[in-house]
């Protein structure tokens, strides 16, 4: 028996194999199917997908045998990987000086007499293992079988690449989830820690204005008012960031309940304490809903709030429609406001993305509200779209998937 040579790029090859993360992984049907196909086409009882570690040969797929590894020094595949682009064929191992005294050839139960192995070579030229077929008697492969074995090997390599990409995506997703959780915790801590100082600033501004009113000129009073307004704006900004990062919990289906749309809208409108000349039209039909009330309330608060803020008409007109089918509730909030430029309509749902215009009171938005709205709606199994004409109207249409309960 002649022991297999060690590839010149062995250290790099072993690193590539380790990075692939396939050794000792669970069986996967896709790999087993390809090994079965190779055995069928070559008309042999055994087909293997093997990978060569430093001292061990491990089988990802085993057709026709019931063990999962061997030592590398007796491995036929360890010889095959030294010819990365070639199909290695041993028609009768008993007549080949490399394998004549190999324990696998001399086995009395399942002797390896015929062997054909095609290296699994990655895009960097590393032969990680083989797709091989084995018989207990001498055999010759015809040209079609050789071509088929090479073709199936290419499919195994494609599977390995897809598997690697999926594993990388899973690792990235896990990292992003961890970072998102840390960001949520950070947002919560910052929000809590900043709220109290901001509240103190607002109260202090009112005290100074009241106590020293006679000693302050108009400019001083203006500065105090500016400080108070800025504190309110920052407080609102912090609250919206916190709402955005808590939206996953907010849209949990465990919070589903039954309620009617008119009652919900009445409560929302009362919260705004609208002083402007405004008509808000409710849906013609008072539909009974069964969904996440808290999340839907947050969505409508944002959309109706925007209809009030981003409106330059003397009389604000807002219409809310609602209908349903077997699977979804559908809502539309339409106003006669400023409108959204067409080139901004795809951007408005991105976090911190804002339309350049100021609202009714001369303030600029922070780009959090609509991103929160979309996140809530997506978590509720729905979608949202906008249709708007500048200076005329804006209409937000969204859906929410019905509860399965």
Pair 131, 279 in one domain = no
Quick check: helix, strand or coil at residue 393? strand
Q: Is residue 183 part of a domain?
A: no
Task: Encode pLDDT of 331-342 as tens digits.
Answer: 999 999 988 888
* Structure confidence by residue, pLDDT tens digits, 266-294: 988 887 878 889 999 999 999 999 888 88
In the structure, what pLDDT confidence band is assigned to residue 298 with cuts at 50, 70 and 90?
A: confident
Q: How confident is the model at residue 169, as a pLDDT?
A: 87
The candidate with the shortest Cα–Cα distance to 75, out of 93, 95, 91, is: 93
Residue closest to 177 by CA, chosen among 5, 197, 185:
185
- Asked if residue 178 is part of any domain, the answer here is no
pLDDT for the residue 144: 96
Domain that includes residue 266, residue range: 249-401
pTM over 0.85: no
* Whole-number pLDDT of residue 190: 63
> What pLDDT does 269 receive?
87
Asked whether residue 124 falls in the same domain as residue 261, the answer is no
Residues 158 and 274 in one domain: no
Q: Is 1 a domain residue?
A: no
73's tokens? 């020094």
Domain stops at, among 170, 192, 225:
170
Residues in the chain: 405
> Taking 70 as the threshold, does the pLDDT of residue 254 lie above it?
no
Residue 223 inside a domain? The answer is no
- What the block records as the tokens of 132 is 């091989």
Note the pLDDT of residue 215. Answer: 84
Q: Percentage of the chain with pLDDT > 90? A: 54
Q: Tell me which of 177 and 237 has the higher pLDDT.
A: 177
| Domain-terminating residue out of 143, 170, 197 | 170
Show which of 107, 138, 170 is a domain's final residue.
Answer: 170
Domains: count for the chain: 2
On whether residue 87 sits in a domain, the answer given is yes
Whether the CB-CB separation of 126 and 134 falls below 8 Å is answered with no
For residues 34 and 147, state if they share a domain: yes
Mean pLDDT, the chain, as a whole number? 87
14 within some domain: yes
37-56: pLDDT as tens digits: 999 999 999 999 999 999 99
Residues 126 and 260 in one domain: no
Tell me, what's the pLDDT at 291? 87
pLDDT tens per residue, range 176-226: 888 777 666 666 666 666 666 777 777 888 888 788 878 888 888 888 887
What's the CATH number where 317 sits? 3.30.565.10
Q: Read off the CATH number of the domain in which 165 is found.
A: 3.30.450.40
Residue 239 forms part of a structural domain: no
The reported pLDDT for the residue numbered 335 is 95
* Alpha-helical runs (H) found in 21-134: 29-42, 77-80, 103-106
């Amino acid at each position: 028996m002649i022991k297999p040579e060690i590839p010149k790029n062995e250290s790099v090859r072993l690193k590539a194999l380790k990075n692939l993360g396939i050794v000792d992984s669970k069986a996967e049907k896709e790999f087993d199917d390809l090994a079965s196909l190779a055995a069928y086409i070559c008309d042999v009882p055994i087909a293997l997908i093997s990978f060569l570690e430093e001292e061990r040969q491990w089988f990802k797929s085993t057709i026709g045998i019931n063990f999962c590894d061997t030592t590398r020094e007796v491995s036929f595949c360890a010889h095959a990987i030294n010819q990365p682009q070639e199909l290695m064929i041993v028609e009768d191992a008993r007549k080949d000086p490399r394998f004549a005294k190999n324990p696998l050839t001399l086995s009395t139960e399942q002797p390896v007499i015929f062997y054909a192995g095609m290296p699994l070579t990655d895009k960097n030229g590393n032969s990680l293992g083989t797709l091989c077929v084995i018989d207990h008697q001498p055999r010759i492969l015809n040209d079609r079988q050789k071509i088929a074995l090479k073709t199936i090997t290419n499919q195994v390599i494609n599977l390995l690449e897809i598997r690697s990409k999926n594993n990388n995506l899973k690792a990235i997703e896990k990292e992003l989830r961890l970072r998102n959780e840390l960001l949520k915790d950070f947002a919560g801590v910052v929000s809590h820690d900043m709220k109290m100082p901001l509240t103190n600033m607002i109260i202090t501004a009112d005290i100074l204005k009241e106590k020293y009113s006679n000693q302050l000129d108009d400019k001083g009073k203006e500065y105090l008012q500016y400080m108070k307004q800025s504190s309110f704006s920052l407080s609102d900004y912090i609250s919206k960031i916190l709402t955005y990062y808590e939206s996953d919990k907010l849209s949990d289906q465990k919070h589903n309940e039954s309620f009617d749309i008119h009652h919900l809208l009445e409560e929302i409108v009362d919260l705004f304490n609208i002083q402007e000349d405004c008509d808000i039209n409710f849906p013609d039909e008072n539909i009974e809903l069964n969904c996440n009330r808290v999340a839907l309330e947050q969505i409508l608060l944002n959309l109706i709030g925007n209809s009030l803020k981003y409106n330059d008409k003397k009389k604000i007109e807002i219409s809310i429609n609602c209908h349903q089918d077997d699977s979804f509730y559908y809502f539309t909030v339409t106003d006669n406001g400023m409108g959204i430029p067409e080139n901004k309509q795809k951007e408005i749902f991105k976090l911190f993305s804002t339309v350049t215009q100021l609202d009714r009171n001369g303030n600029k938005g922070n780009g959090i509200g609509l991103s929160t709205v979309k996140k809530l709606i997506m978590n509720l199994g729905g979608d949202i779209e906008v249709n708007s004409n500048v200076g005329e109207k804006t209409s937000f249409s969204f859906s929410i998937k019905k509860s399965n309960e």
